[in-house]
Amino acid sequence: MKTIVIYNSQTGFTKRYAMWIAEAAGAECFELSEAKKKDMAAYDAIIFGGWACAGGISKLGWFKGNIIKWTDKKLIAFCVGGSPADNPEIEPALKQNFTEAEFEKVSVFYCPGGFNYEKMSAPSKLMMKMFIKTLKAKKNKTEAEEEMIKIISSSYDISDKKYIEPILECLNG
């Protein structure tokens, strides 16, 4: 199956997953702006990866806008975020990025990445600073919220190649 992996990554975690998937699947791998120049008719499977931004998947619009054209292809999307894989909020958040019809056509996965403040853009850093400040100011914080403040206040890496396994199974299944 001729496969292309397309990614949008700000600090490198999504790119890392995209490259792991492409290597394991024997697929081509391109950053979104490069991929847009390619002829998608040449591929049987299209895998798109974006990073989680306030519950959304970054740059998902291009992929979603083409779903209707790609009726004969296997479509997979993956999202890379700072949350651990067992966060119960992930599944509903992923779902809300797609309409029901789109969700039927696309298999959607989550891969934990982390935070890299050194590589983050200034607007993203500012958004994170405001988010942490708001969370800190909240009264009666839950234990999970207290823990979250500690974790996301500095860089960390929870990416692991094992999280590509369900994506590969889906691709080959």
Ligand X SMILES: Cc1cc2nc3c(=O)[nH]c(=O)nc-3n(C[C@H](O)[C@H](O)[C@H](O)COP(=O)(O)O)c2cc1C
Binding stretches for ligand X (CB under 6 A):
9-14, 51-55, 80-83, 113-115, 120, 124, 127-128
User: What is the rounded CA–CA span in Å between residue 173 and residue 164?
Assistant: 14
Task: Work out how close the CB of 133 gets to ligand X at its nearest, in angstroms, rounded to a whole number.
Answer: 13
Question: Which tokens go with 131?
Answer: 């988010």
Give the closest residue to 57 by CA, choosing from 46, 65, 49: 49
Give the closest residue to 133 by CA, choosing from 117, 152, 115, 118: 152
Task: Work out how close the CB of 135 gets to ligand X at its nearest, in angstroms, rounded to a whole number.
Answer: 12
Task: Work out how close the CB of 7 gets to ligand X at its nearest, in angstroms, rounded to a whole number.
Answer: 7
Measured from the CB atom, the residue of 72 and 89 that comes closer to ligand X is 89
Measured from the CB atom, the residue of 73 and 164 that comes closer to ligand X is 164
Neighbours of 121 (CB within 10 A): 10
Measured from the CB atom, the residue of 120 and 170 that comes closer to ligand X is 120
